[in-house]
Amino acid sequence: MMRYLSAGESHGPALTAIIEGLPAGLPLEADCIDRQLARRQGGYGRGKRMSIEQDRVRFLAGVRGGVTLGSPVCLQIENKDWVNWKETMDPGVSARLDDRVVTRPRPGHADLTGLMKYGHRDLRNVLERASARETAIRVAVGAVGRRLLAEMGVEVIGFVRRIGKVEADIPDLPPDVLKERAETSSVMCPDPVSSYRMMEHIDRISDVGDSLGGVFEIRVFNLPPGLGSYAQWDRKLDGRLAGALMSIQAIKGVEIGVGFQGASRPGSEVQDEIFYDEDRGYYRESNRAGGLEGGMTNGEPLIIRAAMKPIPTLRRPLRSVDISTREAVEAAYERSDICAVPAAGVIGEAVVSWELAVAAVEKFGGDTFAELKGNWERYRASLKGGLD
């Protein structure tokens, strides 16, 4: 089983993660992770923190000579801003606990509930870990999963479908065209006209000190059928993918395939009929299920979307209550994004990649990557001829 744990605060010295269960012999270099970290920091509407941090990963264990060793892999991303917060965030007893104290919780954030849960008196003890800065290390971990999938021909492509009131109509483009158009857009939207309208919308909202949410979509190509399982509720891949996406800060909804639209259609317009060809094996001429049936991949492209609410930290603060005086105040403000939907799309790609990689290792096993890949290829070859 592959798993990981992460640690680190937004203004602490570093973010770290330990990955357990990666097979030995997987080609893995820092560059492939750093590319994803750079993508996470981009996007129109990001805040000033992105100009401070230039995220780079460092391997502390588990990798030698550009390949995994089979032992736990430790990743680290330094926080450049730590130099400005040493006295405040020092883990030792010399920390200035009276410095930069936050007592005004932000509506829509973890601030107040986290304070009540853990008994803190300074909201900074909550917001430092609840911050979306934590997603940098998740992108690094997801890039490792993406690397494993790429070695087996699986491609993960994300793009923005909606920002605020501006929604793009994205045609069924070939993967290479979809990827190129998304990567050349400042808001990660494959439609140039909609991209421009989205940026205008962000500018208007920025002028009034507000923020915007939206919807991103992820498509995964060349997955084999059978990842996940119908046998137990917690093994169903659609549930695991939805849970991974919902764990991203500000994500409030997930749909697969036709998603919520399917609730208003008759069954004949929702299910995907099944066909067979000697060369292709079993296939479908539609993909309303989004590549998942019965908690498992079915061989069609995976299509999954997530809805992100607007960032809760606003330059035009909402009403709140000071926890030290109980007086009505305006919520605290620390530098923040106006719109982080493109960044959330990159994070979404990462968590989806990780869950799919975990499912691949579960199904195909092996202590070495060569063994895992061989099992993958033999399984795919057996499906082409049809199972008796």
Q: For the domain that residue 72 is a member of, what is the CATH number?
A: 3.60.150.10
Residue 263 has what pLDDT?
A: 93
For the four alpha carbons of 87, 91, 94 and 97, in that order, the dihedral sign comes to positive
Residue 52 has what pLDDT?
A: 66
204 Cβ contact list (under 8 Å, min separation 6): none
386 Cβ contact list (under 8 Å, min separation 6): 276, 281, 282
Tokens of 45: 């509407």
Residue 277 has what pLDDT?
A: 87
Give the separation between CA 357 and CA 363, rounded to whole angstroms: 10
Nearest Cα neighbor of 136 from 13, 311, 17, 219 is: 17
Domain ranges, residue 279? 3-384
Checking DSSP bridges between strand 14-20 and strand 73-78, what pairing results, if any?
antiparallel
Could you tell me if 187 and 163 are in contact, meaning their C-beta atoms sit under 8 angstroms apart? yes
Burial 139-174 (b: 16+ CB within 10 A, else e): bbbbbbbbbbbeebebbbbbbbbbbbebbbebeebe
Could you tell me if 9 and 29 are in contact, meaning their C-beta atoms sit under 8 angstroms apart? no
In this structure, what is the dihedral angle of CA atoms 171, 177, 179, 180, given to the nearest 10 degrees? -120
Give the separation between CA 310 and CA 250, rounded to whole angstroms: 7
What residues are paired with 368 via a beta bridge? 24
What's the whole-model pTM score?
A: 0.94
Give the separation between CA 91 and CA 105, rounded to whole angstroms: 23
End-to-end CA distance of the chain: 30
Residue 316 has what pLDDT?
A: 81
Q: Within the chain, which residues score under 70 in pLDDT?
A: 46-53, 334-335, 385-388
Count of structural domains within the chain: 1
Burial 25-50 (b: 16+ CB within 10 A, else e): bbebebeebbebbebbbebbbbbebb
* Displacement of CA 49 from its chain's centroid (Å): 19
In this structure, what is the dihedral angle of CA atoms 335, 341, 345, 347, given to the nearest 10 degrees? 20
Query: Can you tell me whether residue 297 is helix, strand or coil?
Result: strand
Residue 182 has what pLDDT?
A: 96
Residue 279 has what pLDDT?
A: 82
Give the separation between CA 183 and CA 135, rounded to whole angstroms: 20
Residue 383 has what pLDDT?
A: 86
